[in-house]
């Protein structure tokens, strides 16, 4: 059955002494899906992955893989490939021998194992490095060896625990592209762990935001970004301006008194505006309130981030707002300047 979940995690709990590492986790991952567990350090990501992989047992709950209960199965029985932050290669084995290792564990002949390991190394563009030792490779190359070793036995599930966090930014970005391409070309069902929201947004089919041992929200990157279900998710994923206040039909009255028109009625007493949804201008544009919310605002400070500029401004009503504008040389606003701030009702998200 193509639509069957490859992984079905039900009501998983895990405590260490008094620490509730996982509170009650439910998670289903479909065949070929790339799912990211996104959460701050200590939120329970690694514990959940270790329970899925079979390195750790839950206090209660169930882990099924392709419909079979695997809660108490050994790691070896689960056919799961795993990549860790610190590569964890065998230093005394060559690159090729490292990648052959899981096949030899499975009693595949040495010759067949070598052929498959070479193919796996080719798929991560390391075909020519088979005879080297791990210490002779860069960090990025070592991590690609670890990836080859994790996929060489065609695992039913690939788990990656912060695999790029030891790499510098540029290398991390190219590894993100490479892993994503490999994952989709092989159709690998993948769970990826990161605490980096940008990495999660770039790579995932779906993101599960985890906090305090519980899944706070699960959805596509766009759902998580545009429709966060809580302030904690909104502030964890991307920048946001959050207004507390009172709704009235298609209006929202911020506590400061600032009045926003909305695209649809709401009864939510909080509203979110992403910084890039706001426009600043010097000219005063008479606006139809059904098409735009218009405010007078003063620039407090700005930071030029190349490509865009982040302004902190204060509305005449008093609210402080962060604005992310495409950097244009002819529109650089100075601290102290009074401007017109506009935001479309559709971008005011209850
Ligand atoms: P993350 O991977 O999101 O950083 P972890 O799953 O490693 O989080 O940890 C979740 C919580 O469980 C933390 O409070 C951590 O200190 C605790 N924890 C994890 N493993 C153990 C362990 N083996 N013994 C005691 N506490 C642990
Ligand atoms: Mg961890």
Q: Is 316 a residue whose pLDDT tops 60?
A: yes
Number of helices followed by number of strands (H, E) in the chain: 8, 19
pLDDT classification of 284: cutoffs 50, 70, 90: confident
191 C-beta closer than 6 A to ligand 1: no
- Cβ–Cβ contacts within 10 Å for residue 254, how many? 18
What are the structure tokens assigned to 13, written together?
A: 């709990």
Mutate to test the pocket of ligand 1, among 36, 42, 191 (most ligand atoms within 8 A of CB): 42
Give the Å distance between the CA of 177 and the centre of ligand 1.
29
DSSP 349: B
Whether 329 has a pLDDT exceeding 90, the answer reads no
- Over the stretch 160-206, which tens digit does the pLDDT of each residue have? 999 999 899 999 999 999 999 999 999 999 999 999 999 999 999 99
pTM: 0.89
Distance 77 CA to ligand 2 centre (A): 23
Nearest to 233 by CA among 259, 215, 257, 248: 215
Query: What is the rounded distance in angstroms from the CA atom of residue 55 to the CA atom of residue 14?
Result: 13
Q: Which of 12, 15, 16, 51 to mutate to test the pocket of ligand 1 (most atoms within 8 A of CB)?
A: 16
CA of 99 to the centre of ligand 2 (A): 24
Q: What is the DSSP pairing of strand 157-161 with strand 5-16?
A: unpaired
* Cβ 19 under 6 angstroms from ligand 1: yes
Rounded Cα distance between 24 and 22, Å, is: 6
Ligand 1 proximity of 44 Cβ (cutoff 6 Å): yes
- Say how far apart CA 87 and CA 133 lie, in whole Å: 13
Q: Give me ligand 2 centre to Cα 214, in Å.
A: 15
18 CB-near residues (< 8 Å, 6+ apart): none
Helix (H, G, I), strand (E, B) or coil at 205: coil
Provide CB contacts within 8 A for 38, sequence distance 6+.
194, 195, 197, 200, 207, 208, 209, 210, 236, 237
Minimum-distance ligand 1 atom for the alpha carbon of 14: 12
Sequence-distant (6+) residues with CB within 8 A of 347 are 273, 274, 277, 278
Q: In terms of residues, how long is the chain?
A: 350
The pLDDT value given to residue 289? 61
Whole-number pLDDT of residue 231: 85
Instruction: Say how far apart CA 146 and CA 133 lie, in whole Å.
Output: 13
For the chain, percent of residues with pLDDT exceeding 70 = 97
Q: Which of 21, 22, 12 is CA-nearest to residue 62?
A: 12
- DSSP state for residue 77 in the 8-state scheme: G
Average pLDDT score over the chain: 93
The reply to whether ligand 1 has any atom less than 6 angstroms from the CB of 18 is no
Residue 41 Cβ < 6 Å to ligand 1: yes
Distance CA 160, CA 340 (A): 46
Taking the centre of ligand 2 as the mean of its atom positions, its distance from the CA of residue 205, in whole angstroms, is 21
Which domains are delineated in the chain?
5-235 (3.40.50.300), 239-347 (2.40.50.140)
- Cβ–Cβ < 8 Å for 319, 278: no
Report DSSP state, residue 266: -
Write the ipTM.
0.98
Please state which of the ranges 43-57, 110-124, 153-167, 317-331 shows the lowest mean pLDDT: 317-331
Looking at residue 1, what is its pLDDT?
47
pLDDT at res. 133: 97
Q: pLDDT tens digits, residue range 228-250?
A: 998 889 988 988 999 999 999 99
Q: Please state the rounded mean pLDDT for residues 63-92.
A: 93
* Position in ligand 1 atom list of the atom nearest CA 210: 3
Q: Whole-angstrom Cα distance, residue 144 to residue 124?
A: 6
**What's the rounded mean pLDDT across residues 265-269?**
92
Q: Does pLDDT of 331 surpass 80?
A: no
Question: Looking at the DSSP assignment, which residues form a beta bridge with residue 36?
Answer: 192, 207
- Please check whether residue 274 is in contact with residue 335, taking contact to mean a CB–CB distance below 8 angstroms: no
| Mean pLDDT across 14-36 | 97
Phi, psi of 39, rounded to the nearest 5 degrees: -170, 160
């Amino acid at each position: 059955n193509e639509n069957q979940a490859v992984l079905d995690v039900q009501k998983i709990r895990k405590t260490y002494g008094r620490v509730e590492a996982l509170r009650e986790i439910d998670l289903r991952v479909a065949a070929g899906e790339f799912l990211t567990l996104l959460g701050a350090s200590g939120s329970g990501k690694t514990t959940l992955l270790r329970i899925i992989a079979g390195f750790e047992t839950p206090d209660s709950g169930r882990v099924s893989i392709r419909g079979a209960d695997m809660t108490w199965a050994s790691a070896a029985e689960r056919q799961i490939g795993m990549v860790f932050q610190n590569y964890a290669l065998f230093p005394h084995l060559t690159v090729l021998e490292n990648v052959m290792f899981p096949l030899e564990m499975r009693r595949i002949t040495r010759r067949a194992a070598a052929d498959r390991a070479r193919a796996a190394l080719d798929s991560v563009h390391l075909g020519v490095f088979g005879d080297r030792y791990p210490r002779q490779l860069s960090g990025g190359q070592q991590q690609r060896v670890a990836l080859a070793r994790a996929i060489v036995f065609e695992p039913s599930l690939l788990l990656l625990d912060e695999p790029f966090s030891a790499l510098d930014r540029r290398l991390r970005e190219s590894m993100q592209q490479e892993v994503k391409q490999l994952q989709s070309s092989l159709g690998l069902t993948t769970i990826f762990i990161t605490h980096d929201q940008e990495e999660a947004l770039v790579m995932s089919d779906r993101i599960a935001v985890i906090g305090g041992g519980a899944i706070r929200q699960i959805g596509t990157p766009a759902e998580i970004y545009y429709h966060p279900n809580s302030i904690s998710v909104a502030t964890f994923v991307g920048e946001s301006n959050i207004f507390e206040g009172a709704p009235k039909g298609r209006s929202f009255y911020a506590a400061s008194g600032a009045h926003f028109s909305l695209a649809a009625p709401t009864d939510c007493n909080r509203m979110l505006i992403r910084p890039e949804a706001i426009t600043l201008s010097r000219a005063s544009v008479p606006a139809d309130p059904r098409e735009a919310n218009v405010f007078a605002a003063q620039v407090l400070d700005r930071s030029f981030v190349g490509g865009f500029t982040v302004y902190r401004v204060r509305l005449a009503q008093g609210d402080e707002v962060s604005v992310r504008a495409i950097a244009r040389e002819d529109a650089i606003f100075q601290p102290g300047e009074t401007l017109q701030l506009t935001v479309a009702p559709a971008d005011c998200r209850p």
